[in-house]
Amino acid sequence: MTPPASPIPLWINGAPGALGNQPQDIPTLTRFDPAPGKSNGATLLVLPGGGYWMLAPHEGEGYARWFCEHGFTCHVLQYRLGQHGYRHPCMLQDAARALRLARLYAREHGLDSARVGIIGSSAGGHLASTLLTHYDAGRPDHEEPAERESSRPDFGILCYPVISGVSFPHQGSFQNLLGENPPAELVRELSNEQQVTADTPPTFIWHTVDDAVVPVENAKLFADALQTAGVPFDLHLYEHGRHGLGLPVTNADAPPWDVNCLFWLRQRGVLR
């Protein structure tokens, strides 16, 4: 792959709801391109985990570099975080805007704008599952080209995701996302297993059964909701593994989810 591009701000005139103009107030995208002649035409938006408090590099740049080796153009999102005073909907606004920009980039640079997916880990998996269930079609009459694009991912990849604030919640992620004592209705709205419909994109999900941080039931809840709605999915539950494992190529303790994911992407016609 080629060296990463310089980060670009999601909004030239400042993000909606920005609390200042410091780096933590300016969500950015960093693009990673496959080597010349190696592109498969697909795009992946990468959302690192970190409990909505920080961003884990191995789930951001680490994933981007690996997927680039398989022909994906990747965009790593630095989204706004709870430790800097941000709460929902700022994170979702960042993810939706990033998906629009990634799709617009694909359209303008000869990639397939109908193969734009999203991958998220842990709290990044929650943000990814939020966009998988809370997207919109874009605004065709908007003066800015990016805002005309749909924010619906064409496929999703969820790695040991936080999903529910109601059943088996990861309290720290939801507290950083929503603050102290959020309304029960808002918690339900962002318990994404309750927001799946027949239009939710196909999704690959993996988790480890003995994850001591985010209960494996989160992955099972989302998979069950997809099955009920008739949405294609692939669920892999591995017997052992701590939370936040990332890729097997950099962590010998990680299960072979990477191989299984590539197989699923080929089956879905994403990886060509």
Q: Assign residue 232 the CATH number of its domain.
A: 3.40.50.1820
Does residue 183 sit within a domain?
yes
pTM: 0.98
**Cα four-point dihedral sign 57, 136, 173, 242:** negative
User: CA 210: distance to chain centroid?
Assistant: 23
Number of domains in the chain: 1
How many other CB atoms are there within 10 angstroms of residue 13's CB atom?
A: 7
Does residue 2 sit within a domain?
no
Identify residue 61 by its one-letter amino acid code: E
Phi first, then psi: give them for residue 105, nearest 5 degrees.
-60, -45
Q: By residue range, what is the domain housing residue 105? A: 8-267
**Nearest partner of 29 among 67, 64, 1, judged by Cα:** 64
How many other CB atoms are there within 10 angstroms of residue 87's CB atom?
A: 17
How would you list the strands of the sheet with 233-238, edge to edge? 8-9, 28-32, 73-78, 43-47, 116-121, 156-159, 203-208, 233-238
pLDDT tens per residue across all 272 residues of the chain: 678 999 999 999 999 999 999 999 999 999 999 999 999 999 999 999 999 999 999 999 999 999 999 999 999 999 999 999 999 999 999 999 999 999 999 999 999 999 999 999 999 999 999 999 999 999 999 999 999 999 999 999 999 999 999 999 999 999 999 999 999 999 999 999 999 999 999 999 999 999 999 999 999 999 999 999 999 999 999 999 999 999 999 999 999 999 999 999 999 999 99
Does residue 3 sit within a domain?
no
Does residue 32 sit within a domain?
yes
Does residue 1 sit within a domain?
no
